Structure 1
């Protein structure tokens, strides 16, 4: 298996696993996603589409590499959002007022707020929330895809 093939494999499998894991935790585990949780899903969906294009273009290495690297970038974006969300959950920094309960000036504003707050993790394992796990896995996977996709083919 070539390094570009490995990169494409990671670029398709990891976002699928994370996205389906999030959907499973929502519909099977009954964890209601907050607004920031949803933000993390969109780059994974984009990464899946980009990785599929890269796979379809596997006969054209330069184009396939480009789409694989774009998929890696999308995975890293989700990881970055995960870092931001985890920081909000751990109260390292402020999150968006709309989903953290701050900034309401009227009862009408409060009534429009989402039911699930972004600064209260619904689930943790070893002190790491789902946003934290998404950040860790996405950043490692995104960097691995870049590393494999950037390698020159063996001669």
Structure 2
């Protein structure tokens, strides 16, 4: 079951990254800094899933715990992004509408150079009332639970 799970995670990672890049390059949905962080999680998940598929002799406990840590990290990032979008959390960054007082010309230049394409604290496109960050948090939270279930089942 564990090997099939890594195949599923590989497919989910490919689909999530494909959806993100199709949205960005073909639909004009611009990502913010937190969106990029969420993509990094899927790149890590894709890489480790591929390693665990190609090297099946790796200890199941290590592979499942590594997978859980990647998924949980992604869940935290997605949940935080969802909270920033819905103004539950204040994220003081050039990625949001919140800004620090400008005290020097160097700070202005730094803010321009650090500016992301989209802001993090504005709701993006929604599907059934949820943004992509919301859907991502739900998916990754569910996958965390599935990974723990498989881990607990293998321990018996």
| Structure 1 segment 1-155 matched on structure 2, within 5 A | 3-58=1-56, 60=57, 62-106=58-102, 108=108, 110-112=111-113, 113-152=115-154
Mapped partners of 2:149, 2:91: distance in 1: 32
- Alpha carbons 1:47, 1:74 under 8 Å: kept: yes
Unaligned runs of 5+ in 1: none
Distance 1:7 1:151, change over 3 A: farther
Unaligned ranges ≥5, structure 2? none
Judge conservation of contact 1:11–1:72 (CA < 8 Å) in 2: no
Q: For each residue in 1:44-99, what CA deviation from the matched residue of structure 2 results, as whole angstroms up to 9, or x when unmatched?
A: 111111111111122x2x52552243123212211210100000001111013221
Instruction: Provide the aligned C-alpha RMSD in A.
Output: 2.2
CA–CA distance in structure 2, aligned partners of residues 14 and 144 of structure 1: 14
Q: Which has the higher contact order (CA 8 A, sep 6+)?
A: 1
Quick check: 1:78–1:135 contact (8 Å CA) kept in 2? yes
TM-score by length of 1: 0.84
| TM-score, scaled relative to structure 2 | 0.83
Distance 2:121 2:37 in 1: 14
Total equivalences in the alignment? 150
